[in-house]
Amino acid sequence: MKYGIIGYSGRMGQAIEELFAEAGHQLVYKKDEKTTKEIEKPELIIDFSLKEAFAETVAIVKAKEVPLIIGTTGLEAADFAKLKELAAEVAVIQSFNFSIGINILSELIQKVNNYLDQDWDIEISETHHRFKKDKPSGTAIMLSELLDQNPEMHSKRLGSEFGEHEIDFASTGELLTLKHRAYSREAFSKGVLISAQKIINMEPGFYKFSQILK
């Protein structure tokens, strides 16, 4: 397939380009903060950039009338409203975490949530590399929204950690811990590749990555 990346020079942009090249796909449109290069019209656009790029990304996707996969974090309610408006015209797949493990973890958290009463404390801890701008991570926010209680959140920004999320559930007599760690950015780019292979044949609509996996 012929695809485009917004945020192509970033850490995730590079990881996606590498995996897609191995799978034989061609990068024909690339944009970052300073440059735009278009060889051909892409069949889909992938955005892993920063929140500041969001309005322009929506405008570009609208103008090109191609599907969008968006993994950029820091998006807020108003941004989701715009994505849903865009999804009336093209297919949009969004997730704050495209790793398969985090999506399995999400299902486990929902299961645990069904057993909890007020006697349980819940805390979410996340660690990411020192360059990550948003805090807490989009994934930590996404996981917290699966729970009835509002958990305490803890963030660390250390070295080159790709992404670690731990959820502790404790009552006065016991502790249950669920933990996920990404070993590399391939954890996320693999999920983007799965999404790209599907989105080019999908009807307009707003889809979460978890729906694509099922």
What type of residue sits at position 199?
I
Is 128 annotated as catalytic? Answer: yes
Query: What span, in angstroms and rounded, lies between the C-alpha atoms of 15 and 93?
Result: 19
**Site size toward ligand NAD, by CB under 6 A:** 27
C-alpha dihedral over 199, 204, 209, 212, to 10 degrees?
-60
Choices 20-28, 46-54, 84-92, 109-117; region in contact with ligand NAD by CB under 6 A: 46-54
Helix (H) or strand (E) holding 164: strand 164-170
C-alpha dihedral over 7, 134, 156, 111, to 10 degrees?
-100
Choices 25-33, 103-111, 152-160, 195-203; region in contact with ligand NAD by CB under 6 A: 25-33
Min dist. Cβ of residue 151 to ligand NAD (A): 20
Rule CB under 6 A: choose which of 25, 29, 30, 31 binds ligand NAD.
31
Min dist. Cβ of residue 91 to ligand NAD (A): 17
Query: What span, in angstroms and rounded, lies between the C-alpha atoms of 160 and 129?
Result: 4
172 is in an annotated binding site: no
Is 41 annotated as catalytic? Answer: no
Catalytic residues: 128, 132
Residues belonging to the binding site for (S)-2,3,4,5-tetrahydrodipicolinate are 129, 138-139
